[in-house]
Structure 1
């Protein structure tokens, strides 16, 4: 993924704004700062999860299973809750099963359906990983006060609502 390491200077954006009157300098600066920050955070989390042989996608599925209201989920429930396709979930579940994190087994009432659950080994491994994970999250946000964290959540929710209102957002759901 290509990223911008150094954000453009205000003067460069001002020059572009003279050529393209639609350019709102503050919006562009805000968007670029957001994207740069998101890239940095993803990079940090990728390194963190890699220590455990996990990816963000695999970790997401594990957390869905940890927080499921029952001891199992179906693959289609995993896909829906994670907001990804069934094909994506199948690949992630294949890897998690190979690595001993989950097991898949047929539904007793309908053998065409599969259930997915955490293994006992996965629960033990998560008991070691999660404290470190939560410490990392706290460190990532350590520069913010509790009030700033709440404000950031609110602002990001507004940004997300704006993004989902765009016509291109329909493509995100496929």
Structure 2
């Protein structure tokens, strides 16, 4: 899901974390500190992506809808499939689609197999928008990711995948 992340800009100090141990015995300060650092990094990366897309008049939610549509062979998908793939509610996806449709970046049309449903298609203008943004996106993301060596990136992605597979431990 696309969420606004609200985190402290100032990470906790070891002194402030020690207060947790006093109040909540058994607290693993290292685990808490590492967790907050990962959240902070994710928030900073997401904010940087927001800034990059804003230069092109886009927000992340709308950007990902355009990308998801471009990935389809026929540039078409149902709103519910888009919502599932983006990890957002159908209502949130409807908002994204409404905005993209107003801007002429997607079109909505009746599903010929089930006239109760609509499909969403990437428009010519939507493809042009992607063609405008994608070189900047690719260049910036590549430059950012190349801060790490390929082996470091692979290890980081593997570690984050391991953590993501166990988010049930937080819920």
TM-score over 0.5 for the pair: yes
The higher relative CO (CA closer than 8 Å, separation ≥ 6) is in: 2
Matches within 5 A, 1:69-80: 69-80=73-84
Gaps of 5+ in 2: none
1:92 match: 96
Question: Is the aligned partner of 1:149 residue 2:153?
Answer: yes
1:6 match: 10
1:114 match: 118
2:36 match: 32
Query: How many angstroms apart in 2 are the aligned matches of 1:150 and 1:59?
Result: 25
Match among 58, 61, 75 for residue 57 of structure 1:
61
**Matched residue count:** 167
Q: Which moved more, 1:11-20 or 1:54-63?
A: 11-20
Please identify runs of 4+ aligned residues in structure 1 that moved more than 3 A. Answer: none
1:133 match: 137
Query: How many angstroms apart in 1 are the aligned matches of 2:75 and 2:66?
Result: 12
Query: How many angstroms apart in 2 are the aligned matches of 1:78 and 1:132?
Result: 24
Q: Over aligned residues, Cα RMSD in angstroms?
A: 1.6
